[in-house]
Amino acid sequence: MDCGQQYPVDRIIYVCETCGGLLDVCHDFDAARISRELFDQRLGSLQTPYRSGVWRYKELVYPAVPDDQIVSRPEGNTNLYHSPTLAKWAGVKTLYLKHEGENPTGSFKDRGMTGGLTQARVLGVQRVACASTGNTSASLAAYAAFAGIEGIVFFQNRQIALGKLAQAVAYGATCIQVNADFDRNMTLVREVADTLGIYVLNSVNPFRLEGQKTIIIETLQQLRWQVPDWIVVPGGNLGNSSAFGKALHELHELGLIDRLPRLAIVQAEGANPLYRSYEHGLNGLEPVHAETIATAIKIGNPVNYAKAVRALRWTDGVVEQVSDQEIMDAKALIDRQGIGCEPASACSLAGTAKLVSKGIIRQGETVVGILTGHILKDPEATIQYHSGTLADIESAYSNALHQAEPSLEAISQILETRQAVS
């Protein structure tokens, strides 16, 4: 992405041989064929591939791929929730939550995986692999099985949410737990892939990020192409942040939007290398040892750092950090609205509130927060929060599980007490 070196689309390569930077998919867009009206006409389509919330925007994702090569379940078409209650809590006039947990395997990774597995099929590869904190593995396993390709996933050996591990196992992937954290597994999977000829589907793969661009495109379409003031997204390996910046830049260049929103990337305090870099002018990345309850973003050496910096500069963006306490409280509030999310997703709401308190996001502005994963991805964290058993976390918004004897009197007492408290 730095030096302008180009490689053919049918070559398996992730890093530029000249500058060492990660690669982008560069499109020669036929602007005459791309319009809001085209995408609006496809809304609600039953036709393959346009019924997918990724491939509805095929001209912006992978224009030349034959339809019969596309691996789609389909994905996307996730809801955009308007929540006045959460907006009031965060301190803004208007807040929307884009819920990527409503994808087929329960996370935004499905949008990227349809792009990555489609390219794997185009290339004719037989094995695909990833390192994962959980969501990527679930998505890769499902899409690989759907495509008839062997899936291989590398996990760290602790702090993997069971809801995610169970998916990878159930979908039939070869699951390998390695005595290392995500960052070491990321290095290892690339070494193994280079040696054994396996196609890597982490976010070093540029075709992954083309699919993830559609989170932003679909959000803007749902807003009738009216641009919000802010888009707030959790930051881990920074694939979404990178994809969002690329999507917004391309949409603006094509004239589909008339201005760019500002991007806010929110990291957990215990996994905050981008935030630390931002505090020092984005002049380089120093990896950290990552520790956070938000396992989906427990990454200390994000591979997409340079692309995320580019996105921040394109959008006059900012970076914030939030504590595990702030994450779990925000999650409890999102859950209480009947929307629900995994812990990492709640960085969007917690980060919005923090940026409002600092005067960076103004109270009259419109914010779209991205929820990256489903509530059932990490049910242990939810139950432990509400039972008050999470270490170093106070359950400010707990909903305790009640125990009762099998009698009308015992149950009535609980309900009357509950009503009085409410």
How high is the pLDDT of residue 30?
82
Q: Considering only residues 393 and 16, tell me which one the structure prediction assigns the higher pLDDT.
A: 393
In a domain, residue 41? The reply is: no
**Minimum mean pLDDT range among 3-7, 225-229, 241-245, 402-406:** 3-7
**DSSP assigned state of 401:** P
| Residues of the chain above pLDDT 90, percent | 81
Q: Where are the beta strands (DSSP E) in 179-306?
A: 199-200, 230-234, 262-268
CA dist., res. 147 & res. 125, Å (int): 11
Q: ω into residue 8 within 30 of 0, thus cis?
A: no
Residue 175 has pLDDT above 70, yes or no: yes
In a domain, residue 49? The reply is: no
How high is the pLDDT of residue 180?
79
Structural domains of the chain, count: 1
Do 289 and 69 contact (CB within 8 A), yes or no?
no
Tokens of 332: 């409890």
Number of alpha carbons in the 13 Å side-chain half-sphere of residue 267? 29
Q: What is the arithmetic mean of pLDDT over 176-203?
A: 86
User: Residue 406, class by beta-carbon neighbours within 10 Å (0-12 exposed, 13-18 middle, 19+ buried)?
Assistant: exposed
Instruction: Give CA 277 to chain center in angstroms.
Output: 21
221 phi and psi angles, rounded to 5 deg: -65, -40
Residue range of the domain that includes 270? 80-106+208-387
Residue 133 has pLDDT above 90, yes or no: no
Q: What is the arithmetic mean of pLDDT over 367-371?
A: 98
Q: What is the arithmetic mean of pLDDT over 236-259?
A: 97
Q: What share of the chain is helix, strand, coil (3-state, %, to 5)?
A: 45, 15, 40
CA dist., res. 326 & res. 274, Å (int): 19
Q: Where are the beta strands (DSSP E) in 116-183?
A: 127-132, 150-156, 174-178
Q: What is the arithmetic mean of pLDDT over 279-302?
A: 95
CA dist., res. 300 & res. 237, Å (int): 8
Compute the Cα dihedral for 112, 118, 124, 128 and give only its sign: positive
In a domain, residue 267? The reply is: yes
Closest CA to 315 of 262, 238, 355, 271: 262
Pairing of strands 199-200, 174-178: unpaired
Give residue 422's pLDDT band: very low, low, confident or very high (50, 70, 90): low
Pairing of strands 366-371, 318-322: unpaired
Residue 386 has pLDDT above 80, yes or no: yes
In a domain, residue 373? The reply is: yes
Overall pTM > 0.85: yes
In a domain, residue 38? The reply is: no
Alpha helices in 171-213 (DSSP H): 182-196, 206-212
In a domain, residue 153? The reply is: no
Q: Express each pLDDT in 208-220 by its tens digit.
A: 999 999 999 999 9
Q: What is the arithmetic mean of pLDDT over 123-140?
A: 91
Number of alpha carbons in the 13 Å side-chain half-sphere of residue 255? 8
Q: Considering only residues 109 and 32, tell me which one the structure prediction assigns the higher pLDDT.
A: 109
How high is the pLDDT of residue 10?
87
In a domain, residue 191? The reply is: no
Q: What is the rounded average pLDDT for all residues in the chain?
A: 94
Residue 1 has pLDDT above 60, yes or no: no
Closest CA to 233 of 109, 346, 84: 346
Do 249 and 242 contact (CB within 8 A), yes or no?
no
Residue 134 has pLDDT above 90, yes or no: no
In a domain, residue 61? The reply is: no
**Minimum mean pLDDT range among 4-13, 122-131, 244-253, 324-333:** 4-13
Read off the CATH number of the domain in which 261 is found: 3.40.50.1100
Residue 103 has pLDDT above 80, yes or no: yes
Q: What is the arithmetic mean of pLDDT over 339-367?
A: 98
Give residue 194's pLDDT band: very low, low, confident or very high (50, 70, 90): confident
